[in-house]
């Protein structure tokens, strides 16, 4: 049962999946959930903000990269649990495919590091990945390739 600090409903958030020249932009998260793990830039959707606006805002805040939102394409559940396994927060992450426009990726806001990683080698990149990062990156790369055709 939720307490005063535990939301009683899932929290909607976006992740920006930016594919450029066969690579995907990843950030190493500074804050829970998944602190220290590599995933996509993203965060909570602000009131009155579209999925695309939220994804692009978070991308800019965390990496300094500017992009064009192409489309939302999948959603993921992320459960933030305490050491005893009790649910603190449930996030629903909506993935937005983005086309890089400009900017050199630099860690900012709640990103400890940023890195462009080959989509084809992401699973073997020796990075502590958040759940489903490799699968979502592969799906995004496929969609990006279709969009260019």
- Can you list the domains of the chain with their CATH numbers? 11-148 (3.90.79.10)
Q: What is the pLDDT of residues 33-42, one digit of tens each?
A: 788 999 999 9
Q: What is the pLDDT of residues 7-20, one digit of tens each?
A: 789 999 999 999 99
pLDDT surpasses 70 at 90: yes
Q: What is the pLDDT of residues 65-89, one digit of tens each?
A: 999 999 999 999 999 888 999 999 9
DSSP collapsed to 3 states, the chain: CCCCCCCCCCEEEEEEEEEECCEEEEEEECCCCCCCCEECCEEECCCCCCHHHHHHHHHHHHHCCEEEEEEEEEEEEEEEECCCCCEEEEEEEEEEEEEEEECCCCCCCCEEEEEEEEHHHHHHCCCCECCCHHHHHHHHHHHHHHHHC
């Amino acid at each position: 049962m939720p307490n005063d600090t535990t939301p009683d409903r899932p929290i909607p958030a976006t992740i920006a999946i930016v594919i450029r020249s066969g690579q995907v932009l990843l950030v190493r998260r500074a804050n829970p959930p998944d602190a220290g793990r590599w995933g996509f830039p993203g965060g909570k959707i602000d009131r009155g903000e579209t999925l695309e606006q939220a994804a692009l805002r978070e991308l800019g805040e965390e990496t300094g990269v500017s992009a064009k939102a192409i489309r939302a394409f999948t959603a993921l559940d992320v459960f933030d649990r305490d050491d005893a396994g009790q649910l603190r927060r449930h996030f629903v992450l909506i993935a937005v495919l983005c086309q890089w426009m400009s900017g050199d990726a630099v860690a900012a806001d709640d990103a400890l590091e940023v890195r462009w990683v080959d989509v084809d080698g992401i699973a073997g990149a020796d990075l502590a990945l958040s759940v489903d990062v490799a699968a979502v990156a592969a799906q995004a790369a496929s969609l990006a390739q279709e969009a260019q055709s």
